[in-house]
Structure 1
């Protein structure tokens, strides 16, 4: 695949990547609505429709990127996971009449978000110049997105069994305090909650070296320009 050929498809790829990002946002909004209004692991027809349409957009984006790739075979195998998480497995499972545990239903509801996040990273790479800035912007988005998702998951599992988690605001505050390594006066009682209590501070601590590199790079650039 020549560079000229790929440049011809660049505008289309940008549009599909932005569409994938918006599809992921639609899934996240629908998922949040289901969790906050129906609690736990409800599956509504509206969410199934949103996920099906969003997954079709994600698959279309993958196919177009594959078609425009320099090495299609290499691109396919390197990004196979992104293709798999774009498949609307939840819709397929429900259409087939199969029964899964509520945890698996939740996993299948969340899976397409992984592909959408990959699209966001691509869009960030277009908007941000410089490798250090792109790394910082990408990681900052990852921290914010994971913190919000962790708050949703924590609310799912802790609501009703943890007396201190009586609304989503408490769950979001708990997630923010943990990702900043400050900690909160809310202690998880479920296994998933305890795992998140370990994962969030770890993710937050990984932010400090990247932030240090970013600030150092800014100072170096300012010194060189002056």
Structure 2
């Protein structure tokens, strides 16, 4: 079986690694759908058993990917510390807590509740990495930027809805959260104001993302029509 060098100087089996990459992308997409369903249709208090099973399977795939790449890396110590956040996010903490019967305080509950959302952003990054895997393809990179803005805005709406629903009197349904997110990412602003700490953080991050990515869109369009590369 053919092999090629990985980013850390080691050798890896091409076919198996590509299969794992595809599986990881599929798992990331499934996770995005599962989190969307859980937040929009859930009760914002308890996670459903269906979601816990799905995120456990996805976590196993992410963990397998980490340990395989770690085992194939030439500088394993460097690889481990560089990808430690990926490992920590990939651990199925919610399942572990559910199995152990641990009852969390409100503050710790908020912190642990963020982990599925962090994993959703990780899933977004995995899909983007797959989209730009072929170097020298400006169109793929451009569409990866578009994908990032759309999915990041959508996930931000999910986060906002998860933590503001039932607390923010101006938030009526997920459609309001989605409208709020797009109005903020375009830096226009909305009449729905965050009342939770997490909501306020997302409110700051969204316009920042918009200010970073929309100039890229403008530059791409200009280069397209002026013939520049």
Please give the residue correspondences for 1:13-162 in structure 2 after superposition, counting only pairs within 5 Å: 13-100=17-104, 101=106, 102-126=109-133, 128-130=134-136, 135-162=141-168
2: distance between equivalents of 1:140 and 1:133? 11
2: distance between equivalents of 1:62 and 1:41? 31
TM-score by length of 2: 0.82
Aligned residues of 1:147 and 1:175 also touching (Cα < 8 A): yes
Does residue 193 (structure 1) correspond to residue 205 (structure 2)? The answer is no
Structure 2 residues not aligned, in runs of 5+:
none
Q: Return the match for 2:175 from 142, 145, 169.
A: 169
CA positional deviation for 1:213: 4.2
Aligned residues of 1:40 and 1:156 also touching (Cα < 8 A): yes
Query: How many residues are aligned here?
Result: 221
CA positional deviation for 1:192: 2.6
1:88-124: CA deviation from partner (whole Å, max 9, x where unpaired): 1111122222222331231232233344233223311
Q: Which stretch of structure 1 is more off in the superposition, 117-126 or 148-157?
A: 117-126
The 3 A distance-change label for structure 1 pair 36 and 223 is closer
TM-score by length of 1: 0.83
1:19-49: CA deviation from partner (whole Å, max 9, x where unpaired): 1122122222222222222232321111111
1: distance between equivalents of 2:101 and 2:117? 20
Q: Which stretch of structure 1 is more off in the superposition, 77-86 or 208-217?
A: 208-217
The 3 A distance-change label for structure 1 pair 192 and 209 is same
SS of the residue 1:111 aligns to: helix
CA positional deviation for 1:218: 4.1
Q: Which stretch of structure 1 is more off in the superposition, 132-141 or 27-36?
A: 132-141
The 3 A distance-change label for structure 1 pair 69 and 216 is farther
CA positional deviation for 1:178: 0.9
CA positional deviation for 1:54: 0.6
Structure 1 residues not aligned, in runs of 5+:
none
Between structures 1 and 2, the one with greater helix share: 1
